[in-house]
Every structure is written in C-alpha cells, then in structure tokens.
Amino acid sequence: MQRRALITGVTGQDGSYLAEVLIAKGYEVHGLRRRSSTFGTERIEHLIFGDEPQLHLHYGDLADGNGLMRLLREVEPHEVYNLAAQSHVRVSFDQPTYTADVTAVGTLRLLEAIRDVQDDTGRQIRFYQASSSEMFGKVVETPQKETTPFYPRSPYGVAKVYSHWITVNYRESYDLHASCGILFNHESPRRGETFVTRKITRAATRIKLGLQDKLYLGNLDAKRDWGFAGDYVEAMWLMLQQETPDDYVVATNELYSVRDFCEKTFGHLGLNYEDHVEIDPRYYRPAEVDLLLGDSIKAYTQLGWKPRTSFDALVAMMVDHDLDLAQREQVLKTTVSAYSKAA
C-alpha cells in the first residue's frame, strides 16, 4: 500500500528537500502551506506544477488547531513531519509571543489533532518533531548529545524546548510514535537569505560581480556545526522507520566559526573577506549562542545515518549556486540598462 506523508513547513528549506526524498521513495506527499499575498512556493515549484503534480498542497496554519484536525482527517497520513516554525533566532527576540504561539503551541495543536484522529480511527500516525541544537544554547557540555541538558538563549530556543518536551510527553502519555530530531545547523542553496551562511554566499557572489560593495554582519566569532540540509532530511525519514520512537542528535561533529565561513566563501571566489566584511552591531543578539557542536554517534549506530557532504563541499555548492544567480542578475541589469538607453 502506498504510504502517505504530511509535511508542515513544506515551503521551507527542509520541507522542500524532504518532499523530494519522500516522493522518490514512492510516498503520496501532502504539504501544509500558509496563505500569503505572494506564491511563496519557489522551493517546491518543480513538484507542484506540470500535468501530474507530485506534491499536494493544502492551506493551513499551526495557529489554527481546527484546520489541522480537518486536514489530518482529509489526508489520513501515515507519517507527519512537523517542520513549520518561526525559525529565525534573531527575529524571535522581536516577536517572542508570536514565536511561542507558532513554534511552541503550534506543535501542541498538531499533537492534539493527531491524538484525536488516531483515537477516532484506530490508525497509527507516526510523528516527527523538528527539534533544534538551539535548545542547548549556553552549552553545559561539548560536544552536545541527546543527554546534554538544555539551556536555551532565545525565545526561539525556549519555544523549541517546549515543543521537544511536549512531544516526549505525548509519546510517554499516549503511546504516540513520536520522535524528535535535534538537528544542528544545516544549510543549502535553498537556505533563507537572512541566515548567516546564505547571507554570506549571496553577498560574496554579488560583490565578486560588482553588484554590491560590502557585507554587514554581527558576531563573527560564533561557532557552529554546519551540515547539508539534503543529508539531514534522510535522518528525519529514518527516525520514523524505527519500531520504537526516540530522539536523535543529527550533526557533522565539526566546528567552524562565522569568520571561517566568510574566509572559505570569499576564498572560493578569489577574494579576501577582510576587504569586504564590516561589523554592524544591529546584527548582534541580546543573548548569543557562542558554540554548538554535535555528537551524532547515536544516529550513526541506531539509524545508520551519517553526513555525506563536507564543509568545503557545502560552501562550494552554495557559492556556485549563488554565483549563477548573481550572473543572471547582472545580465538582467545590463539588458535593462541597454533597453532604457535605446528607448
């Protein structure tokens, strides 16, 4: 029988990669999208257009519990992947209440809907929760593993701790097959442009082509464990294929600073980052997470998962993609300028 999956956050970075993976595995894939005044489907366009769309989209919102319940009854998924969130740490300081409502209570709404539908139908729905290394915040040990205590440093981190523990609680209280992936930072050419890696690769490639002069950043000394999103969504799927639900750290076990990322990116383009990067204190955070480094030995031994993409390959992939975007922008600019001169 064909398995059905529902992905919340399908329009985001991870949602788009996960949809591709599940479709390739033969799933019927459904995705929750928010209503917006623009399409917002750039990352999944290749899956939703054409004679036979491979991905079925439904309007919904983690703020709307009734809508989630109706959608679960309509789609009857075997697996639900909860990737939706207000996912930006800096923004969570500006919108703490909204972040709590969507990123924390939104998970509870979805779990409640799953519990009700499962009780009514007697069919098990497996659940994946997108937990985050941001929960470790001001880390109490390094590297961080599943047993490391949480010390969140942002409204986003606190909201993710709530989501994590409510998922564990529903697993233990109601026997739900619910697992949490504690994913460390993962990036790709589809990463949102306000996260630091993509902000750097977009700016560096535009600087290379003379489309921009400077790149303004905050704390260059923050250190992260950066992997490739395409590798990490495989781990999500593996968690839901286990007989027993559990929680897993997913990471590369390698540490680099924002400064290292700049050096590598600009270096790939034959540039020196020190000539172009300037500090703007507006990008500092009220409370910073200085270092995140994961130990994913449990995912390796129990799921057979390990990252396939090196840090250098990740940077090269993002730079090459963004150089192509910058080149197109340059061509467009030249054409418009030639056209307006001729007109």
Q: What character string, x for contact with ligand G4F (CB under 6 A) and - otherwise, covers 79-118?
A: --------x-xx----------------------------
Candidates 99, 133, 144, 167; binder of ligand G4F (CB under 6 A) is 133
Interface with ligand NAP includes 296 (CB under 6 A)? no
How far is the CA of 221 from the CAs of 88, 150, 255, 284, 308, in angstroms?
19, 22, 12, 11, 26
- The one of ligand G4F, ligand NAP, none whose footprint includes residue 80, by CB under 5 to 8 A per kind, is none
156 is catalytic: yes
59 is catalytic: no
How far is 198 from 210, CA to CA, in rounded Å? 18
Q: Which stretch binds ligand NAP (CB under 6 A): 9-17, 118-126, 170-178, 328-336?
A: 9-17
Which of 42/120 has CB closer to ligand G4F? Answer: 42
Which single residue is written with the structure tokens 């031994």? 301
How far is 2 from 5, CA to CA, in rounded Å? 10
Which residues make Cβ contacts (< 8 Å) with residue 126, sequence separation at least 6? 78, 79, 80, 177, 178, 179, 240, 245
Query: What is the nearest approach in angstroms of ligand G4F to the Cβ of residue 160?
Result: 7
| The one catalytic residue among 134, 170, 188, 273 | 134
Overall size of the chain counted in residues = 343
Which of 9/137 has CB closer to ligand NAP? Answer: 9
Note whether 187 and 304 are within 8 A (CB). Answer: no
Q: Is 122 left (phi over 0), alpha (psi -120 to 50) or beta?
A: left
Closest among 46, 2, 43 to 26, alpha carbons compared: 2
| The one catalytic residue among 156, 170, 232, 273 | 156
Active-site amino acid positions: 132, 134, 156
Residues that bind ligand G4F (CB under 6 A): 87, 89-90, 132-134, 184-185, 194-196, 199, 217-219, 222, 224, 258, 283, 285, 288-289, 292
